[in-house]
Amino acid sequence: MVCRRCILSVEQLLEKHGIPFSDIALGTVTLPEMPDMDKQEALRKDLEALGFDILDDQRKQLIDQVKTLLTAQVQTEHIPEHFTLSEFVKKVLHRDYSSVSKLFSEVEGLTMEQFFILQKIEKVKELLVYDEHSLSEIAFQLGYSSAAYLSNQFKKITGMTPSQFKQNHSGKRRGLDAI
């Protein structure tokens, strides 16, 4: 779950299936008791129809938590220039970066760094479409050392410069949860 609408959707489904919950937040639902198998399966099907998965495997839960945290970090629109994923994982998750990174790569098929870069590029696209900030301001907000470095990375990922994207593809973006 990556937004308030996601939380509301999950909450409505839990209520529809008569499944009590004690807490619901981005990426997590706390149930006071486990529902019977029929309710679990019906909920799973409805969640999948909305694009959600039930993560009952602890490895998948950790990866989902990492993805939610990284997406939220990008959405703050202020990533310090010297931001490092290793320090972020250590500070926020209180886990060893190398083991989380290895697990992330195994489960997702791309590195945590690649995922984070893809999130940032999608945010750049969003900010370019809004046309409220210069490329230098966007670069600063998202922790890039310069607009040139951002432009190079943007072109490597999208195949076009930020200016070309702004002129030709301003409406063609993926949702952050689709990455």
pLDDT in tens, 80-100: 878 999 999 999 999 999 999
Mean pLDDT rounded to a whole number for the chain: 87
Residue 61 phi, psi dihedral angles, 5° rounding: -60, -45
> With contact defined as beta carbons under 8 Å apart, do 92 and 46 qualify?
no
pLDDT in tens, 19-77: 998 888 877 788 888 888 888 889 989 988 988 877 666 788 899 899 999 999 999 87
CA distance 6 to 26: 8
pLDDT for 156: 96
Q: Which of 164, 76, 82, 81 is nearest to 119 (CA)?
A: 76
CB atoms within 10 A of CB 100: 20
Tell whether pTM > 0.85.
no
pLDDT for 1: 46
CA distance 54 to 47: 8
Tell me the CATH class for 59-178.
mainly alpha
pLDDT for 56: 65
Domain ranges, ordered by start, for the chain: 4-54, 59-178
